[in-house]
Chain A
Amino acid sequence: MGNHVFANYGEVVAMLLFGIGFTNLLLQKNMIKKIIGLNIMDTAVYLFLAEKGYIEGHLAPIVVNGDLNPETYINPIPSGLVLTGIVVSVSVTALMLSLTIRLYRRYHTLDLDEITTRLKKEGR
């Protein structure tokens, strides 16, 4: 068990970060901190993917000298997935931030629970 954890420390760190991000997104009251949690969570997934795609001693998957031997390069698919994932997470973060700005302008607070109680009090 200990051996495995040590050998795959990158994946272990990625999972820990995922947990940290997930709990932050779920439990923080402050919306900016929630968004930070979201980004930690997504980045942890990219770390996991990069760690999985990397093969010790192999090169980046760019063909230079006509060398088409797959033994030379690392697995390119996880890198592609990371790129796609980054695009998705950027757009989601932008959307969350714009929602936060909307709410802050209207209620002058970043605390989502306080906004909810205030809305309930208004009764609309």
Chain B
Amino acid sequence: MEFVLNFPCFSILLAMFAAIISSVLKGRGAKILNTFVVSLVGLMSLAVLIFTVRTGECYVYVMGHFPAPLGNELRFGALEAGMALFFAVIMLLSLNGGRRKIKLEIAENKEHLYYVMVNLLLSSLLALVYTNDLFTAYVFVEINTISACGLIMITEHGRCIEAAMRYMIMSLLGSGLFLIGICILYDLTGHLLMSYIHTSIEAIVEAGTYSVPLLVTIALIVVGLAIKSALFPFHAWLPDAYGYSTVSSAAMLSSLVSKGYIFLLIKLMYRVIGFPIFANSKVIDVLFVFGIAGMIMGSLSAIRENDIRRMISYSSVAQIGYIYMGFGLGTMAGMVASIFHILSHAATKSLLFVSAVGLTDVSGNHKDFEQLTGAAYRNKAAGVAFTVGALSMVGIPAFSGFVSKLLFAQAAMDQHEKMLPALIVLAVSSVLNVIYFMKTVIRIYTPVQTGYPSVRAKENKLFVVTLICFIVLNVLLGMCSQPITEWIVQGLNVFA
């Protein structure tokens, strides 16, 4: 066996042990350890990615000594390795972008606890990406929830604790539904490993028995994960949690935590239930309807918002709607578009959060638009970065958002029944995006005389470098979309 195949297991354990060690370190030590671990995980995922893309196969890694139907397994191919690499990169960039804020907003004796949570989050995300066992997935979903809650409430701001409470309540409702779903699934099939469940489900469907319990199970699991990833009607907790927590937390929550659940959902669709069976169930139409509802309602709420961070949060609701609409199309092309949008949204949304903080910093920490007028002149790097993010969200060619919208539109063309609503809503949502993002860009580029001091790029090098990395990532996703979509298709083919 190639040594590189050990890396997924190593990276999960590494992140988890780093979390344990961080709890006894001082803030600075924990920070260095975390940076080291996230970079190392990124490098290991890159190695696995190169290896799996080259061989084009999927590998099963047996944990412990029990053979297949009993033991626990990791399973990874090109898609999983690429996702892990992407998560590590985004996490590193979001942390670097908010480093100064972490120092300012978190009490000094609590700083190492923040990195404990970040490490735990990384390990649970990696486990969600790599695992091939349903119950392990459930346990790591809960670890993910707990660490995300810690990330929200770490600043001990009243608003944050309330947001964390609401987040926990919604998340626990979601994981309750997910848990009962996998229990019924275990009861139906007698297996916990995903590939074996799939074999049993195929047998059940062929025999034509248990069709109602199977449908109920699919619905429970999908609704559970949809609640956790803040699909439209379940998004009430989101603006507070993203809007008031420290900026790195907001960036990681919007671009990593919800994407971890969505990736698990993709895994359930393909590997556990099987895509043809899933696409034939009515659940997929429900996802489609809620997806397009979210695209419109999220944008409308964002237009009404007068707080830049909350506006970006509501825009997340709309973008999650795009992803679910792609699932709802029920075709391979729709799935590819959704996975591309996961990447493009993660890259863009964290860029927006980080640059928005640069703008509010030079406006006396006010987040309302009136105070932000002309902020792009006071902090030039943040202004440019925010504009890039906004253009990408709106869907201007050369940025990542354009490619994902193009892929969605192409996917919708193949699906005759859903073509018209999908295309109309895509257009309407793009126009709504233009309204609130361009409004903000014009606002920050309106020259005005204020008493706020301006910031030179040299004063905060790390911040500027991070923003440049984000912009490069965005343009890279937008310009090199061909190899990336090829990678997604290759990964999806060996995924199930």
Residues of A bordering B, CB below 8 Å? 18, 21-22, 25-26, 31, 34, 38, 41-42, 44-45, 48-49, 52, 77-78, 81, 84-85, 88, 91-92, 95-96, 99-100, 102-103, 106-107, 112, 115-116, 119, 122, 124
Q: Is B17 an interface residue (CB 8 A)?
A: no
Given A42-B176, A45-B176: A88 in contact with B165 (beta carbons within 8 A): no
**Is there an interface contact between A92 and B142, defined as CB atoms closer than 8 Å?**
yes
The proximity string for B residues 157-174 relative to A, scoring 1 for CB distances below 8 Å and 0 otherwise, is 111011011101100110
Q: Is B146 an interface residue (CB 8 A)?
A: yes
Q: Which residue on B lies nearest to A112, using beta carbons?
A: B165
**Is there an interface contact between B135 and A84, defined as CB atoms closer than 8 Å?**
yes
**Is there an interface contact between B139 and A88, defined as CB atoms closer than 8 Å?**
yes
A interface, by DSSP: helix, strand, loop or mixed?
helix
28 pairs, A vs B, C-beta closer than 8 Å? A18-B176, A22-B176, A22-B177, A25-B169, A26-B169, A41-B176, A42-B179, A44-B180, A45-B179, A45-B180, A48-B180, A77-B186, A77-B192, A78-B186, A81-B135, A85-B179, A88-B138, A92-B145, A92-B146, A95-B146, A95-B149, A95-B168, A96-B165, A99-B149, A106-B158, A116-B162, A122-B158, A124-B158
Q: Which 5 A-B pairs have the closest CB atoms?
A: A88-B142, A41-B176, A52-B187, A99-B165, A102-B161
**Is there an interface contact between B142 and A99, defined as CB atoms closer than 8 Å?**
no
Q: Is B292 an interface residue (CB 8 A)?
A: no
Tell me the B131-160 residues at the A interface (CB within 8 Å).
135, 138-139, 142, 145-146, 149, 153, 156-159
Bound CA span A52–B183, Å:
9
Q: Which residue on A lies nearest to B135, using beta carbons?
A: A81
User: Within 8 Å CB of B156, what residues of A?
Assistant: 102
User: Within 8 Å CB of A112, what residues of B?
Assistant: 162, 165-166
Min CB distance B2 to A, Å, is: 32
**Is there an interface contact between A45 and B183, defined as CB atoms closer than 8 Å?**
yes
Bound CA span A116–B169, Å:
14
User: Within 8 Å CB of A52, what residues of B?
Assistant: 183, 186-187
Bound CA span A52–B186, Å:
10
Q: Which residue on A lies nearest to B176, using beta carbons?
A: A41
Min CB distance A4 to B, Å, is: 12
A119 contacts which of B142, B158, B179 (Cβ < 8 Å)?
B158
Bound CA span A26–B192, Å:
29
**Is there an interface contact between A25 and B180, defined as CB atoms closer than 8 Å?**
no
What's the interface size class on B, roughly?
Answer: 20 to 34
User: Within 8 Å CB of B172, what residues of A?
Assistant: 25, 38, 92, 96
User: Within 8 Å CB of B135, what residues of A?
Assistant: 81, 84
Bound CA span A26–B234, Å:
12
**Is there an interface contact between B159 and A124, defined as CB atoms closer than 8 Å?**
yes
Bound CA span A116–B240, Å:
11
Question: Known pairs A21-B176, A42-B179, A107-B158. 20 more at Cβ < 8 A?
Answer: A25-B172, A38-B172, A42-B176, A45-B176, A48-B183, A52-B183, A77-B186, A81-B135, A81-B183, A81-B186, A88-B142, A91-B142, A95-B149, A99-B161, A99-B165, A99-B168, A106-B158, A106-B161, A112-B162, A112-B166
**Is there an interface contact between B165 and A31, defined as CB atoms closer than 8 Å?**
yes
Best-surrounded residue of B142, B158, B164, B166 (most CB of chain A within 10 A):
B158
User: Within 8 Å CB of B179, what residues of A?
Assistant: 42, 45, 85
Tell me the B191-208 residues at the A interface (CB within 8 Å).
192
Bound CA span A26–B172, Å:
10
Best-surrounded residue of B138, B168, B180 (most CB of chain A within 10 A):
B180
User: Within 8 Å CB of B166, what residues of A?
Assistant: 112
Bound CA span A115–B187, Å:
42
B164 contacts which of A41, A88, A99, A107 (Cβ < 8 Å)?
A99
**Is there an interface contact between B162 and A91, defined as CB atoms closer than 8 Å?**
no
User: Within 8 Å CB of B183, what residues of A?
Assistant: 45, 48-49, 52, 81
User: Within 8 Å CB of B145, what residues of A?
Assistant: 92
User: Within 8 Å CB of B139, what residues of A?
Assistant: 84, 88
B153 contacts which of A18, A22, A44, A99 (Cβ < 8 Å)?
A99
Best-surrounded residue of B139, B172, B173, B179 (most CB of chain A within 10 A):
B172
User: Within 8 Å CB of B177, what residues of A?
Assistant: 22
Bound CA span A106–B183, Å:
39
Given A88-B142, A95-B146: A18 in contact with B180 (beta carbons within 8 A): yes
Bound CA span A24–B88, Å:
38
Min CB distance B345 to A, Å, is: 28
Given A41-B176, A45-B179, A45-B183: A34 in contact with B169 (beta carbons within 8 A): yes
Bound CA span A21–B165, Å:
17
Tell me the B255-289 residues at the A interface (CB within 8 Å).
none
**Is there an interface contact between A25 and B176, defined as CB atoms closer than 8 Å?**
yes
User: Within 8 Å CB of A77, what residues of B?
Assistant: 186, 192
The proximity string for B residues 351-395 relative to A, scoring 1 for CB distances below 8 Å and 0 otherwise, is 000000000000000000000000000000000000000000000
Bound CA span A29–B194, Å:
38
Q: Which residue on B lies nearest to A96, using beta carbons?
A: B168
Q: Which residue on B lies nearest to A122, using beta carbons?
A: B158
Bound CA span A122–B135, Å:
43
**Is there an interface contact between B176 and A119, defined as CB atoms closer than 8 Å?**
no
User: Within 8 Å CB of A18, what residues of B?
Assistant: 176, 180
Min CB distance B47 to A, Å, is: 32
Best-surrounded residue of B156, B161, B166 (most CB of chain A within 10 A):
B161
User: Within 8 Å CB of B158, what residues of A?
Assistant: 106-107, 119, 122, 124
User: Within 8 Å CB of B149, what residues of A?
Assistant: 95, 99
User: Within 8 Å CB of A25, what residues of B?
Assistant: 169, 172-173, 176
User: Within 8 Å CB of A44, what residues of B?
Assistant: 180
